[in-house]
Homo-oligomer: A and B are copies of this chain.
Amino acid sequence: DQVRALAREIAMREIEKHAADGIGRVDYAVASGGGRVVHHSVPYEPKRGIFSGLLGGGNPDPQKMIQPSFGEPGQCFAVQGSSGFVEIKLKSGIIPEAVTLEHVSKDVAYDRSTAPKDCRVSGWYDETSGETQSSHAAKMAALAEFTYDLDKNNIQTFDVTAPDVGVINMIRLDFTSNHGSSLLTCIYRLRVHGREPVSPGTAGFRA
């Protein structure tokens, strides 16, 4: 009857969003779209033997953090210690609107002490990329500061709070703490959302 039809419609809409890369929001950092991790602090090299199993470890490949995780533990980029940074070259210049940080779901995690906690995201425009862009960001700007909360959904989106940053094509995540591990911090995925600037140079190609 009516309830059945409504429940089905609502379920299908939520599944459609889930099927669209989890949150149904355009990501200018994702590797398959052209994003690339270009700098990062020292990777965590998992030790074999007594600690390997107990501590998980994640993956020493930085590009893991701009690829989907599909609900699997270990599909992350692991850096040494409880603080560190990563820098990502975006697919193209955008006016940034939000970032999304994701850790593995608590339902499948062995250990969530490796999740980042206190974070700061900055952005800027790298002119050496060969693109030219008027109205781009003049210098590195703080975009957002936030705390990743283990009690909320594992995919957490934070709005850019800085006003009038301009166009950026680089982003940097600094985390100054994690949720308890002194050995390593795992970054499962960082996404960057925003809108593409409308300019005479690009409009012609997209019309």
Give A contacts to B, CB under 8 Å.
3-4, 6-8, 10-12, 14-22, 24-28, 30, 32-34, 49-57, 68, 70-75, 90-93, 105, 107-111, 113, 129-132, 153, 169, 180, 196, 202, 205-207
A71–B69 Cα distance when bound, in Å, is 12
Contact indicator A30/B71 (Cβ below 8 Å)? no
A50–B130 Cα distance when bound, in Å, is 6
A16–B28 Cα distance when bound, in Å, is 24
Closest CB-CB distance, A53 to chain B, in whole Å? Answer: 4
Which B residues lie within 8 Å of A132 (CB)?
Answer: 50
Closest CB-CB distance, A3 to chain B, in whole Å? Answer: 6
20 A–B contacts from the bound complex (CB under 8 Å): A3-B7, A8-B10, A11-B11, A16-B107, A19-B71, A20-B71, A20-B108, A21-B107, A24-B107, A25-B108, A26-B73, A26-B109, A34-B56, A50-B130, A50-B131, A53-B169, A55-B205, A68-B72, A92-B110, A111-B206
A196 closest partner in B (C-beta): B110
Closest CB-CB distance, A147 to chain B, in whole Å? Answer: 20
A59 closest partner in B (C-beta): B32
A72–B53 Cα distance when bound, in Å, is 29
Which B residues lie within 8 Å of A196 (CB)?
Answer: 110
Contact indicator A52/B24 (Cβ below 8 Å)? no
A57 closest partner in B (C-beta): B34
Q: Which of B27, B70, B92, B105 contacts A108 (CB 8 A)?
A: B27
Which B residues lie within 8 Å of A131 (CB)?
Answer: 49-50, 53-54
Contact indicator A72/B22 (Cβ below 8 Å)? no
Which B residues lie within 8 Å of A108 (CB)?
Answer: 20-21, 24-27
A57–B202 Cα distance when bound, in Å, is 15
